[in-house]
A = this chain, B = another copy of it.
Amino acid sequence: MFIRNAWYVAAWDHEVGRTDLLRRELLGDQVVLYRELDGTTVALEDRCCHRHAPLSKGELVENNIQCPYHGLEFDRTGQCVKVPGQSAIPPEARVRAYPTVERNHWIWIWMGDPALANPDDIEDFHWIDDPDYRARGEVLHLEGNYVLLVENLLDLSHLTFIHRTTLGTSAVADTPMKTEREGDLVRVTRWVMDNTPPPFFQRAGGFAADAHIDRWQIITFTPPGFVRLDVGGAVAGSGAEKGDRSQGFTMRNLNAITPETETTTHYFWAQAHDFRTDEPWLTDMLYENVHTAFMEDLDIIKAQQENILARPDAPRVDINHDGGGLQGRRVIERLVEEEQRADGRQAAE
């Protein structure tokens, strides 16, 4: 089950245009995304109300989308505005429209009751287009349930094992984390003090392989599926833990996780940095390193999902590192439950 009354990322801005209309399954809904002539994004149910053909195989006629099969046209509200061969439009001829907002290079979509959609509630991802930062990202497809990915990001002790050639050192998994809650926000903090940098940190921060650094991972989860990482390292003892990061470097790893189905997920992410922002190759290098690591994550989560499907009722044994992941999962489950209770009340009224 999914939280529906929430803003999700539906697409990167460059994925949505006027020629190749984007069909994407989101929370089990088939959605078509396109732009009006002035660039405004539109998201409609990708299923003509007439004979259910996907509108995404049609084309745009000015600001309307035309069904490929029998030519019905719909405007941005989902209202049918033309039926070939007749002048009257049946009033029930409409498809579902989803509120959208374009922000921080992402197209955001509201999958629940449109009356509740407030753009002020969109999560802050300003680092992606903040002039003080450079960022690069992509969308990946995960063959696994989205909460498995939330858990993955809320416990970076897996860096030691899955990403040993890129991001991990044995010190990560050996260091405990602090977990905090602020309402539905979950924050996990880990400081690995006075330790050697992993290969990626050597490249990003210019540290020698045998240098000693203080390394931080400050991870914030907010529902339905946003995980933002404040990560970096500084010369050991230079005061980073107390707030002075001048002897080190900082990156923001920005993740927006959107369920496709119960067992597949759209994974939007970007890596931002505020140092050496005039060196595009560095932005690319950071992106490439994270990409390599994330492909390792997709691989293990896919295998995890296959094992879960093979024996769905197998018990899970929790360990200390699971503090953040468990909090995140509980927030999601509680919000899903609250929505379903509210829907039940509405249905009963």
What is the interface of chain A, defined by CB distance below 8 A to chain B? 25, 30, 46-47, 49-54, 57-58, 66-72, 80, 83-86, 90, 92-93, 148, 151, 155, 157-158, 160-162, 173-176, 300, 303-304, 306-308, 310-311, 314-321
Contact A162 B69 (CB under 8 A): yes
Contact A316 B49 (CB under 8 A): yes
Q: How far is the CB of A263 from chain B (nearest CB, A)?
A: 14
Q: How far is the CB of A156 from chain B (nearest CB, A)?
A: 10
**Which residues of chain B have C-beta atoms less than 8 A from A25's C-beta?**
310
Contact B54 A85 (CB under 8 A): no
Task: Report which residue of A72, A155, A304 has the largest number of chain B beta carbons within 10 angstroms of its beta carbon.
Answer: A304
CA distance A195 to B41 in the complex (A): 38
**Which residues of chain B have C-beta atoms less than 8 A from A46's C-beta?**
307
* Additional 5 contacts, C-beta under 8 A, given A68-B162, A85-B157, A86-B319: A50-B319, A52-B308, A53-B307, A70-B161, A85-B176
Contact B71 A307 (CB under 8 A): no
Known: A85-B173, A319-B83, A320-B85. A161 touches B68 (CB 8 A): yes
Kindly identify which residue among B86, B300, B314 contacts A47, using a CB–CB cutoff of 8 Å. Answer: B314
Known: A300-B68, A320-B86. A307 touches B30 (CB 8 A): yes
Q: How far is the CB of A98 from chain B (nearest CB, A)?
A: 15
**Which residues of chain B have C-beta atoms less than 8 A from A49's C-beta?**
314-317
Known: A30-B307, A57-B303, A304-B53. A317 touches B90 (CB 8 A): yes
Contact B158 A70 (CB under 8 A): yes
Known: A84-B160, A85-B176, A173-B84. A70 touches B307 (CB 8 A): no
CA distance A317 to B84 in the complex (A): 14
Task: Report which residue of A58, A68, A92 has the largest number of chain B beta carbons within 10 angstroms of its beta carbon.
Answer: A68
Contact A300 B57 (CB under 8 A): yes
CA distance A314 to B92 in the complex (A): 13
List the B residue with the shortest CB-CB distance to A297: B69
Contact A70 B155 (CB under 8 A): yes
Kindly identify which residue among B67, B90, B174 contacts A85, using a CB–CB cutoff of 8 Å. Answer: B174
**Which residues of chain B have C-beta atoms less than 8 A from A66's C-beta?**
161
CA distance A162 to B311 in the complex (A): 38
